[in-house]
Amino acid sequence: MAIKMICDHCGQKVTVSDSKAGKKGKCPHCKNSIQIPTGLDRLSVEGPSTVEVSRMGARCPKCDQQIVFGHSHCESCGLNFVTGTVEPERATKGSMPRSNPSQVNNKRRGCMSSAVFLIGLGVIGLGFFLTQAEGDVTTQILVPQEREADILARRLGDTPGSPLSNRIEKDLSWIRSIDPRVREIFPHETPPSSVILALRSEADSTVFRKVAQKLGAIQITNRHGMTDRIQIFFSHPIDPTRLESFFKSLPGFDRLLLPGRSGDDILIRRRNRHLMLVFRRSQEICPAGCNRDHYLYYESTPRSHPRLVDEIRPGELTRGRIARWGIPARFPARAFENADKLLAGVHDARWWVQLHAIRVLEHLLSGPPVPQYVEDRDPPHHFSSLRQNIRKQRAQVEKALLQASQSPDPSVSSAASEVLQRLDR
């Protein structure tokens, strides 16, 4: 059987072979792409009749009424689709006059015009509203501005606007000027000043750009060349939730995204006059400890610019790497090949290596007899062998911990004292 359908673009009738049901093609009148319906696939009859199909389903060629799938005749006029003859006794709903195709097309065109008019009217109304209340709307999406340096200074127990905060701000500016990898990494508490709009294929990006300009955007660009995502920049931090409410009413809006917000963060430590800034780059939030994260370690003094002193790439922590400055706080036993190297780590000149060794000893002596991390299961039996040898050398372990508890470094001495107290219990 042939399939007749109505083009959604020009309203003209199109006749195609039933072998093309469910496929896409071009309208011979307007050349636009059309979807050929699959309504006939569920009909259990075959015959010489031509059945007209629209998106609502199959329709009778005689009375233009919808056909019940699986029936071999029209319930309205009694047309037999197999023989092509009319059987009045088969009609159960009564015959109804067939609609004029031109009238049907005019009605459809009228409906489409009305829909386009209503959508345009809604966009114009939203634009008028934003024009009249532009100042109020911009104020609603803004949040009080706070420097990143103040946030990091507060993490160190200092106050915003202090000399330490000003020093952190200078260090951040210097690092971002020389390392493009950290330019979109901000502390978690920092409100964003840019957002990404994910749009569906039918969205008109021009409308979104105009609305963003009314909201006070200073720059609008395509995200990495993708036309379905646009990034909007503001001169001040904004509230993403309030901003999203303005775009939800626009047709084609999918969702609002925040750049660099998956698991990125800036971690900071201070030791004497040294500042240590760690930039964590992540593709996804890693609640267990960041094997898939990328860490960049910068150190500065009051008289020198920050310099990159270390870097841990994704996956290196699972191969026995000791994290610099204890960031991230992950202490696998695999970092030490045997008990002697573990005890030597307690006396290492690097304080973060000492902390790592002390935490491993704590787990081997007072923790459960199973690895704390996945990487400690490889190579096999390494963890159990290390645990057994350390327990045999308990006297040497307590002596090493006692010496570490007298270290001038407060973080090392406090960690060693805690482990000794647990062993005494």
Neighbour order of strands in the sheet with 304-312: 265-271, 274-281, 294-301, 304-312
The pLDDT-based confidence of 369 (bands split at 50, 70, 90) is: confident
Kindly report the average pLDDT of the chain as a whole number. Answer: 78
DSSP-derived secondary structure for 296-335: EEEEEETTEEEEEEEEE-TTGGGGTPPPGGG-S----GGG
CA distance 109 to 114: 9
Rounded Cα distance between 309 and 302, Å, is: 17
The pLDDT-based confidence of 300 (bands split at 50, 70, 90) is very high
Chain centroid to CA 8: 35
Give Cβ neighbours of residue 368 (< 8 Å, ≥ 6 apart). none
The bridge status of strand 13-17 relative to strand 2-6 is: antiparallel
Number of Cβ within 10 Å of residue 224's Cβ equals 8
At 276 the three-state DSSP class reads strand
* Biggest CA-to-CA distance, the chain: 106
- Residues present in the chain in total: 425
Q: Is 410 exposed, middle or buried (0-12, 13-18, 19+ CB in 10 A)?
A: exposed
Q: In this structure, are strands 2-6 and 51-54 parallel, antiparallel, or unpaired? A: parallel
Please give the full DSSP string across 143-176, using - where no structure is assigned.
-----HHHHHHHHTT--TTSHHHHHHHHHHHHHH
What is the C-alpha to C-alpha distance for residues 311 and 279, in angstroms, rounded to an integer?
Answer: 10
Cβ neighbourhood burial of 22 (10 Å; 0-12, 13-18, 19+): exposed
**Cα distances (Å, whole numbers) of residue 14 to 4, 30, 67, 383, 412:** 6, 11, 19, 73, 81
Q: pLDDT-based confidence at 288, cuts 50/70/90?
A: very low
pTM of the model: 0.53
pLDDT(361) > 80? yes
Residues of the chain with pLDDT > 70, as a percent, come to 74
Tens digit of each residue's pLDDT (9 = 90 or more) over 216-250: 888 888 865 555 788 888 887 787 878 888 888 88
Q: Which pLDDT band, with edges at 50, 70 and 90, does 352 fall under?
A: very high
What confidence score (pLDDT) does residue 231 get? 86
Identify the residue with better confidence: 211 or 290.
211
Q: What is the pLDDT of residues 140-188, one digit of tens each?
A: 666 666 788 888 888 888 888 899 999 999 999 999 999 999 988 888 7
Average pLDDT over residues 49-72: 59
Query: Rounded CA gap, 361 and 318, in Å?
Result: 19
pLDDT recorded at residue 171 = 95
Question: Which residue would you say has higher pLDDT here, 43 or 77?
Answer: 77
Total Cβ atoms within 10 A of residue 69: 13
CA 163 – CA 161 distance, rounded (Å): 7
More confident residue, 253 or 5: 253
Q: Which residues pair with 57 in a beta bridge?
A: 54
pLDDT digits (tens, 9 = 90+) for 392-415: 999 999 999 999 999 998 889 999
Residue 41 scores a pLDDT above 70: no
pLDDT band of residue 106 (cuts 50, 70, 90) is low
Q: Which residues pair with 221 in a beta bridge?
A: 231
pLDDT band, very low/low/confident/very high, at 379 (cuts 50, 70, 90): confident
In contact, 75 and 39? CB cutoff 8 Å: no
User: Among candidates 320, 305, 411, which has minimal Cα distance to 374?
Assistant: 320
Residue 327's pLDDT is what? 87
**Closest C-alpha to 367, from 323, 332, 407, 341:** 332
Q: What is the pLDDT of residue 13?
A: 79
Could you tell me the residue ranges of all domains in the chain? 2-99, 146-189+259-322, 331-425
pLDDT of residue 49: 42
The dihedral sign for the CA sequence 207, 211, 214, 220: negative
pLDDT digits (tens, 9 = 90+) for 112-144: 666 666 666 665 655 555 444 444 555 566 666
